Structure 1
């Protein structure tokens, strides 16, 4: 097993253009608690080189809830979920526009329109396109969409409307994927990421950690995202919701979450790394330390779970001596 004795030295090598190896990435996940602050300081050397002390805020609107035919084991909206979540079709254009105003109030620079389901219909794409065009014409918000699998036609429509970014997570490693979902494949997800890139939309794809993957598989996820050359990488930590297939699973602790964020930063040094779902329940009191590796968070609630109050996130950023990036206010 590779052992790294100089974490800052390794960070400087990465900044000098040397990609870290899978063995070095695994060493980050195997580092001791006594080394943790050194690992985070090294990750911050990389993070601060590309992003300074700025933190990007993103806000989600759950634009279509439940009603999903997919069987993803982590998801409270899946067809197999017994979780008591709201179920409704795609929200009206007016409601999506109100969400954009709320994103601005929360000091978010990016507004994320998310809909459950395998793939959007033509009518749903047209409804989202109408909302996006109006938001783009009247605000400075950047728009991210997450609507399921895309074909070339739908990807092109979203690009023309002015969608900046499209999220479609790999979620876990290729080897682990069949254990999490049976209604689609890892390759299906890769294909949508490629469709997004070909349409000229910035690709966003990340992972959910804590679903039974080994440390080596966690490293594989980071390198797969590097090979796809995605621009933004959401790092979710499983929030095991009662009623889902993964209910009761609790594999992570705050320190290992920090190592995962640091590993992702070392492997993908120039990319936006976002602490995403499960941040509050997994990182807990160590949330601020995550921003020494990551440069982006969601502000407010997630899809079917609550986040902390925006004022707490603003205060956390201020207490760190960091600043909010691209606030639309």
Structure 2
């Protein structure tokens, strides 16, 4: 992470972060300056930050954890130049390349999602946006999945027009994922084939169509701490329902290969900051958690309330049983939709 000064090496005044949590729980949002103080805090403050963040998390979600299952329904072949992505046109990473999978494969994956206790099945394609063949495939398979399994459907199909969003809503898609990925200021450094504004417009099309918005980002792409805070506030202002926070896996063959990784402590402070900024929203520890948080993964669930179970798009996650054991050891429990928990 790019920073102007080294992180402090002393404790913040006692009660600093607990007071912020009380402020949030009283309905008074924290400021950008307060949010920045969380991600800039000393590592010595991490236990206090997580404890304060847990008060907020527990207020809205108790000890529930919602699981998501990710299906890479179309791999590689993407014309965009997102520098973090192994499937982009500028990537030399050896990833599988195939067009959208056939019905039987997508149904089989939905069965795995259900078996693993996932509430949401995430259908993802690599593309600037879906072509007509891909739209029809999604429109055909979604009703079948929902009829057979008790799964919510989240579609991640790239940039969407207003008409495409309406079609997804009509076929039964519950939520669309389209990450902002970084701050508006930093975005041009990680992608040049579309803009930050393009992504925001897709989210507005999703909202106008009556679907929930899932949008988060990737931390550790060379951005500043202020960039992470800016992204968090943009997501809060858009009122997205679900925020996945990825930690960059700097895959060999991508333009961000060799990018310095975040420490587990920095990643956890950033994750906690999202909880303070968006207190009642689903917060998911997404890609890179196994690589960067390592043995500290359980600590992330004191502020986050959601996980992907299984693999990611082109990288492996840890074994599902390890996730179940982690959740159980924390005294937490796998639950259904967030609406069932917080409603």
**TM-score over 0.5 (shorter chain):** yes
Q: Equivalent residue for 1:269? A: 279
| Equivalent position to 2:159, from 149, 174, 190 | 149
Pair 1:123-2:133 in alignment: yes
Q: Give runs of aligned pairs for residues 34-53 of structure 1, distance below 5 A.
A: 34-53=44-63
Q: Which residue of 1 aligns with 2:340?
A: none
**Is 2:210 the partner of 1:210?**
no
Structure 2 residue matching 1:46: 3-state secondary structure? helix
Correspondence for 2:259: 249
Q: 1:4 to 1:185 in 2, by over 3 A?
A: farther
Do 1:4 and 1:27's aligned partners in 2 also have CA atoms closer than 8 Å? no
C-alpha separation in 2, matches of 1:225 and 1:110: 21
Are 2:102 and 1:95 aligned? Answer: no
The match for 1:281 is 291
Say how many residue pairs are matched.
326
Q: Residue 4 of structure 1 contacts residue 24 of structure 1 at CA under 8 Å; is this kept in 2?
A: no
Q: Is 1:219 paired with 2:229?
A: yes
Q: Does structure 2 conserve the Cα–Cα contact (< 8 Å) formed by 1:46 and 1:269?
A: yes
Alignment match, 2:182: 172
Report the Cα distance in structure 2 between the residues aligned to 1:84 and 1:156, rounded to whole angstroms.
35
Q: Is the 8 A contact 1:254 1:283 kept in 2?
A: yes
Among candidates 60, 64, 71, match of residue 74 of structure 2: 64
Which position in structure 1 is the counterpart of 2:241?
231
Q: Is the 8 A contact 1:41 1:292 kept in 2?
A: yes
Match of 1:315 in 2: 325
Q: State yes or no: 1:194 paired with 2:204.
A: yes
Partner of 1:83: 93
Residues 169 and 205, structure 1, Cα contact 8 Å, conserved in 2: yes
3-state SS in 2 of match to 1:123 = helix
1:107 — aligned with what?
117
**Cα deviations across residues 281-325 of structure 1 (Å, max 9, x unaligned)?**
011110000000100010000000000000000000000000001
| Structure 2: 5+ residue stretches without partners | 1-7, 338-343
CA RMSD, 1 decimal: 1.2
Q: Distance in 2 between matches of 1:5 and 1:276?
A: 31
Distance of 1:255 and 1:297 partners within structure 2? 19
Alignment match, 2:84: 74
Task: Map Cα deviations across residues 46-86 of structure 1 (whole Å, 9 max, x no partner).
Answer: 00000000001000000000000000000000001000000
Report the alpha carbon displacement of residue 4 of structure 1 after superposing the two structures with TM.
Answer: 6.2
Aligned equivalents of 1:33, 1:71: Cα separation in 2: 35
Q: Which runs of 5+ in 1 are unaligned?
A: none
- Secondary structure of the corresponding residue to residue 293 of structure 2: helix
CA shift digits 1:146-173 (9 cap, x unpaired): 0011111111111011111100000001
